Amino acid sequence: MKSVLLAFGSNLGDRRQTLENAYIEIGKLPDTELVCVSGLYETKPVGGPVGQPDYLNAAGIIKTRSSPQELLKQLQAIELQFGRIRKERWGARTLDIDILLYENEVIETPKLIIPHKEMLNREFVLLPAGEIAPDWIHPVSNLTIRQHFELLC
């Protein structure tokens, strides 16, 4: 099984309950195990339309036999299940699940980029990821999550 680092965010509806239910749904995916999740972090929106509610963000580690592309489809289906509507970039959302790292793979297709291209620029991603995966190495920079957090902050 492959180890995968995920990022979660929600800023619409019952954010905490949505994230907790999303973890349950991820645990139900075939050949996938939810290993752990970080604590929740409340953050101001970055980018996107002004006036959005604050986000709850978290990170999680899963183990899966799904390919990165298959996992993306599964995670997007979970987002839809919780009312995710993609109408504007960086807009408010009930649930956002991003694949940050998939083992040490580097993937760039029109639909999927791993490592996530913005992860190293976002404190709201690195803080929860650093809580559960501080020593994971970014496959492009060869620095740990902890080192990237220290560089950013």
Point out the residues that are catalytic: 84, 93, 96, 98
> What is the secondary structure of 111-135 as a DSSP string?
S-EES-TTGGG-HHHHHHHHHH-TT
Q: How far apart are the first and last CA of the chain?
A: 33
Identify the helix (H) or strand (E) that includes residue 102: strand 96-102
Q: How far apart are CA 6 and CA 100, in angstroms?
A: 5
